[in-house]
Structure 1
Amino acid sequence: MTTRKNVLILGYSYAIQFIDVCNQYVKLFDQNHYKVTVAYLSGKPDENARSKTLAEEVIFLDFAKKDLRGIKISAIKKLLTLCQQEKFSMVICHRYKPIYIMLWVAQFCSIPALFFVMHAMKTFHHVSRKLLIALLARKNMYFVGVSNATRDDMRRDLWCISAERVITLYNCIDMELTESALLSREEARHTLGLPKDAFVFGTVGRLVPDKDQKTLIHAFAKIKSHCPKATLIIMGNGALEHDLKNLTHQLKLTHDVIFTGFVPEASCYFKAFDVFILPSIEEAFGRVLLEAMTAKIPVVGTRIDGIPEVIQDAGIIVEPQNPEALASVMMQMTHKSSLELTQWGEQIYEHVKKHFSLPTFNNIFWNIPINAL
């Protein structure tokens, strides 16, 4: 019987978006040949998170915030012990703090292959981070961006790291799993309290400056008088919720813009939308676009960072922070027939299947020259 190799996937927390990303990587490995462990740096043991994480073993390291600040000695020691015990053939880290910790662990423990996956822009802009990577990086380490925009951002910032070790691995989506969870258009609208005959623009994301829901609200205000049945639904919570609600009040849109707050498994409701809009001014990838496209919903996104790479020619791209341009596109959408929107949705679905499905991701990953495996 062949001895299985051990693989560790290290994430910061088990927020649902991080579980999804970890599962994307778990599915790369055949259980007959690999034992995959997922470890979360923060968060107490949680049975729901454990059940949603597809790895054979799930570890909740439960570090307090103070333990993950500064040089993180206690976290480094604990991960070093784990790596020495399990003798991992590969470690995949998501986001900066797990990467920082594993960079130090790798100085004292032999790990044949390491992948450091970045999900944000400008992570290595600070000189101290550039210097740390230059000092601790080894030839068995890949620095991964979730888009070419993220990759190129890292290539500009990282010192002493060859370009071939800074690569792109797009986020992907389990289309079958995502589709199986979708509510029908009627069920989704009923649950969200949306009129059956409304033309619904939807967006999902944290209510923070980077997501720029403010521009979307201003654009919606420009078309509302021409489209009486138009409704805008904003799913998510965050620091700007009060300000955004005040803006809708000032624009006399209180009854036309719906704020749902945080909605668990928000992608289940995407069929309630006629058009999905991502108005971000900073977005390394935009995984929510894949969820919308898997639901066969036409998408509009901004020409910023990784968004154009996701949408390509399957949707519409507008300039960021330009309510006039966005309003023009939104108006065009309301003039399309149900048949046109349905056909567009089918084309978008095929786009995701070709470029961002699990089989595509699997094929790309296993074509990386990984000596350890």
Structure 2
Amino acid sequence: MSRHFRVLQLQPDYNVKDYDCADLAEQIIKALPTDRYEVTATFLRGRPGPTEPVSRAAKSAYFELSNSALKGLRLRAMWQLYKFCRREKFDVVICNRFKPVNMMLQLNRWLKIPLCIGISHGFGEYDRLYRRKQVQCWLDEHWHFIGVSPAVTQYLLNLKCGFTYQNTHTIKNAIDIKQSVGLQHSRKRARELLGINPTVRLIGALGRLVPVKGHTYLVQAFAALKDQYPTAQLAIIGTGREKSHLITQIQDLGLAGRVQLLGFKENALQYVQAFNIWAIPSLSEGSCLALLEGMSGRLPVIASSVPAMLPLIQSAGGLAVNPANVSELTMALDAYLALSDEALARKGEQAYRCLQAQHDIMVFRKEYLELIDSKLAQACGKYV
């Protein structure tokens, strides 16, 4: 009879949502059968308020560390995490993003947890020489790594600091399509909730208002077409430090009333169908969940041709543009805005079929379970 294996899923911040269709940490928990695995979800920063959701894991733990405690040597944070892991005697630890990976790489020299998995969500985490040296020093047979797209996996392999074809794998980000579609309001209702004119052609974008998301180039491209398509509008869901810059840009380009910054929206996925066209003008992405969310709403997509997104854009029949290239972005917007509603809808259906074929959540769960089952069996010298 198989035993229960104890799993720690370690995340930097509390970020559990009411709906987990795009919460991949929660989807990993769903992948692990409760008759074999007991998962503890642990968050280094933050904790839920009285009315906020908690993880579906069997247990949750909140370290409530300050930002300063997670900088530099992080000695107090490391000691707390070490004591916690030593007490709980985990068989598996799943580390989301760089900081948890880095901490557990150090600590597992003493803890000797049989299977450690580090998930990389983007590029640049190991660009600094000292970080690559740390990996070379601390990485051992207990560790396996996952890139959330083939491009992220290749980034890790190219570093040549211990990431190999034997210990580094790709499990592509996915979305629970059925749950996602069920959350979405109709176009009419979504526009009512957002305060958008029901008759306009609406270009949509979703993401933090930070330079790497490239929203400034999207605004410039739209400005070049504002007279050619007087019934078109642009709306961006998200907030961030670029907001004041974008407001000034909108005013300077004469786009007041044509471009709306909608701010942060809880469960923004519910508004996807408000849009006619979905645009992701990012300068860099690891694996863009916002792109998948737009495709779940059956929207035609325009996105930057960064390595993590280019194969998906091409498969979805979307339009790929070079990052920060306003001219190409303008031409892509023009190509879609010139289409009839019926032709746009067909493009959106093509994107949705691609999502079903390549980013199904059941495949995501199956691949995580198979990886953990097989590597834990090897690590423990027996079958799970």
Give the TM interval when normalised to the shorter protein: over 0.9
What SS does the corresponding residue of 2:137 show, helix, strand or coil?
Answer: helix
Change (3 A) 1:331 1:361: same
Deviations 1:49-75 (A, max 9, x none): 543x22121111101112111121222
- Output the amino acid matched with 1:215: Y
Alignment check: 8 A CA contact 2:151 2:286 kept:
yes
Match of 1:30 among 11, 33, 41: 33
Q: Distance in 2 between matches of 1:354 and 1:131?
A: 39
Equivalent residue for 1:14? 14
- Output the amino acid matched with 2:6: N
Match of 1:169 among 171, 196, 217: 171
Equivalent residue for 1:352? 355
Equivalent residue for 1:129? 131
CA drift at 1:162: 2.4
Equivalent residue for 1:261? 263
- Output the amino acid matched with 1:15: N
TM-score (norm 1): 0.95
Alignment check: 8 A CA contact 2:27 2:365 kept:
no
CA drift at 1:169: 1.6
Q: Distance in 2 between matches of 1:341 and 1:48?
A: 40
What SS does the corresponding residue of 1:27 show, helix, strand or coil?
Answer: helix
What SS does the corresponding residue of 2:6 show, helix, strand or coil?
Answer: strand
Equivalent residue for 1:113? 115
Q: Distance in 2 between matches of 1:26 and 1:131?
A: 32
Matches within 5 A, 1:204-353: 204-314=206-316, 315-353=318-356
What SS does the corresponding residue of 1:281 show, helix, strand or coil?
Answer: coil
Q: Distance in 1 between matches of 2:166 and 2:203?
A: 41
Match of 2:101 among 86, 99, 123: 99
Change (3 A) 1:182 1:200: same
Question: Which moved further from structure 2: 233-242 or 137-146?
Answer: 137-146
- Output the amino acid matched with 2:345: T
Equivalent residue for 1:58? 60
- Output the amino acid matched with 2:33: D
CA drift at 1:347: 2.2
Q: Distance in 1 between matches of 2:12 and 2:307?
A: 23
Gaps of 5+ in 1: none
Q: Distance in 1 between matches of 2:28 and 2:52?
A: 16
Deviations 1:96-147 (A, max 9, x none): 1111111122111121111111112111011110111111101121122111
1:364 is the counterpart of 2:374:
no
Q: Distance in 1 between matches of 2:164 and 2:29?
A: 27
TM-score (norm 2): 0.92
Question: Which moved further from structure 2: 112-121 or 272-281?
Answer: 112-121
Alignment check: 8 A CA contact 2:16 2:53 kept:
no
Q: Distance in 1 between matches of 2:58 and 2:326?
A: 47
Alignment check: 8 A CA contact 1:285 1:310 kept:
no
Alignment check: 8 A CA contact 1:289 1:310 kept:
no
Change (3 A) 1:2 1:152: closer
Alignment check: 8 A CA contact 1:124 1:158 kept:
no
Q: Distance in 2 between matches of 1:233 and 1:174?
A: 25
- Output the amino acid matched with 2:352: Y
Identity, in percent, stands at: 28
Q: Distance in 1 between matches of 2:14 and 2:122?
A: 17
Q: Distance in 2 between matches of 1:360 and 1:47?
A: 34
Match of 1:41 among 25, 40, 44: 44
Q: Distance in 2 between matches of 1:253 and 1:2?
A: 63
CA drift at 1:45: 4.4
CA drift at 1:343: 2.4
Alignment check: 8 A CA contact 1:147 1:309 kept:
no
Question: Which moved further from structure 2: 257-266 or 345-354?
Answer: 345-354
Alignment check: 8 A CA contact 1:45 1:60 kept:
no
Alignment check: 8 A CA contact 2:273 2:297 kept:
yes
RMSD: 1.8
What SS does the corresponding residue of 2:99 show, helix, strand or coil?
Answer: helix
Q: How many aligned residue pairs are there?
A: 372
Q: Distance in 2 between matches of 1:98 and 1:346?
A: 39
CA drift at 1:288: 0.7
CA drift at 1:299: 1.0
CA drift at 1:321: 1.0
Gaps of 5+ in 2: none
Q: Distance in 2 between matches of 1:221 and 1:112?
A: 56
